[in-house]
Amino acid sequence: MALRNTRILLREFERKSLNTLAASPVVLGSVTTSVTAADPCSFDLTTPVTTKAASPTEEDTTTSEKARRSEINLDFNDGKKLFSSVTTGKLIRSMLNQQMASYEPIVDVGIKVMRSRLVETMIVKDFIMSMVKHTFYDHFCAGENLDEAKKTLQKLWNGGLKGIMDYGLEDATDNASCDRNYNEFLKIVETTKLLPPSSVSYACVKVTAICPISLLKRVSDLLRWEHKDSSFHLPWKVDTLPMLADSSPFYHTMSRPNHLTPSEEYDLHQAHQRLIKLSEKCLESKLPLLVDAEYSSVQPAIDYLTYSTMIRINRDGNRIVHGTIQTYFRDAKERLIQATEAAEKMGVTLGLKLVRGAYLSSESQLASSLGFPSPIHRSIQDTHACYDECASIMLEKVAQGTGAVVLATHNIESGRAAASKVESLGLEKSSEKVQFAQLKGMADGLSFALKNAGFQVSKYLPYGPVDMVIPYLLRRAEENKGLLSASTFDRQLMSKEVTRRLKAAVTPSTSQ
């Protein structure tokens, strides 16, 4: 009976989703209305924005010719071409899942239930896990294990997209858990040898999974204090790129921290060796590696390990190790410029993934609780401007032969701006050094439009057992609750295509 009621509820949501979309027509093409989106950082979402494109003026014609040509190439009008590799059933399920994910009461109830004692009852737990697996989990995740993730990857590859394998590991607490996680990351790299060539664009690693998070906090404190006091010597520190700027947040470290103990230094060395060995394995397999970003409290240590590894690996034109810049931070552009300048002097190819960010609420709340202004840009428009400026800088570095960039964005206008910049710089759209990325289950319209325009496009594929990945998803859902409610563009595209297919099925003789 419960399952029957659930199916009725899902059908009701599907009906409401279709009715809502049908009542809100969208104008597609180079001019769109109410386009909103979020961005991935690993499996993270960010604040959406509603943008409205004005009609081109005569001045626009003379100053933005290349940009408009690029916009025309990102064709959202032809739904038949856009979703040619997606079945009608898949389109409807995607619309339904996105609609449910955008409904805050469902997210609220889901979070409360998953954190209640109800899940301690085996029957209830099995039912809830089954519901989650066949809805949100299947929509946003690639499978419970590597074999299932490989099947999802194959479907993407058949549709012209690549995959970024992202194993949903929790933060490590000791060297034993770090070693276990490290071995799982190695399996991903080894598995790519058995997959279609180039179907996996990047492997993905979380430093918090191969280094105890408590140690990352300690190292970050020390790095922040060193930046404030140049006489503060860190004997364990090796060559790296700049991790902090004068505009970076320093309120995490209000007093002089104690130096690392011999045991902590050993653990840091072990963590660094894991990242180096994983990067060397990626170099051997010619598989680039993305290092995810985290909270500002531990990000300096993550950047330290990433950049010091990059200096060793990204030589002689190799573009293996990629760090991550979260552009919702006010210091993002300054840190990026410092890193590019230092990398060029050292002859290192700077690899970066650009995202907007994922921890908007918690970052602002922490700063406020300590009596400091938020490290996040004051407006979403400032965040978008920062993202686009950082993307432009990195694309210029690619053109100069000193950089490689992953443009992780769900934002239509940012996608168009980057596509325009690629064309204006004369870069090859198919260049492996310029790639776009979106989360599985998000911004499929943008993914396919970029792919159809000739760009390299990948989908983030988080995978792992349902009960292991759920806490990871819950944190993201709670942090970004309600943001999907404004992200209607994909549903509008899918609704239009489903309607076209249904009409074609009913009246095939008059369909196009």
Q: What residues contact residue 440 under an 8 Å CB cut-off, 6+ apart?
A: 139, 140, 141, 142, 152, 459, 460, 461, 462
pLDDT tens for residues 402-417? 999 999 999 999 999 9
Give the mean model confidence (pLDDT) for residues 211-218. Answer: 97
Is residue 361 pLDDT above 60, yes or no? yes
Instruction: Return the pLDDT at 405.
Output: 98
Token pair listed for 105: 């009461």
pLDDT tens for residues 156-201? 999 999 999 988 777 899 999 999 999 989 988 998 888 888 899 9
Of all residues in the chain, the percent with pLDDT exceeding 90 is 61
DSSP string, 177-222: HHHHHHHHHHHHHHHGGGSPTTSEEEEEE-GGGTS-HHHHHHHHHH
- Closest by CA to 28, choosing from 484, 445, 451, 440, is 445
Is residue 12 pLDDT above 70, yes or no? no
Is residue 28 pLDDT above 60, yes or no? no
Q: Is the pLDDT higher at 503 or at 507? A: 503
- Predicted TM-score (pTM) of this structure: 0.84
Confidence tier at 96 by pLDDT (50, 70, 90): confident
Is residue 344 pLDDT above 70, yes or no? yes
Paired residues of 350 in beta bridges: 403
Three-state DSSP state, 249: coil
Confidence tier at 480 by pLDDT (50, 70, 90): low
- CATH 3.20.20.220 assigned to 142-468: yes
Measured from the Cβ of residue 67, the count of other Cβ atoms closer than 10 Å reads: 17
Measured from the Cβ of residue 23, the count of other Cβ atoms closer than 10 Å reads: 7
Confidence tier at 360 by pLDDT (50, 70, 90): confident
Cβ atoms of 54 and 60 closer than 8 Å: no
Distance CA(224)–CA(222), nearest Å, equals 5
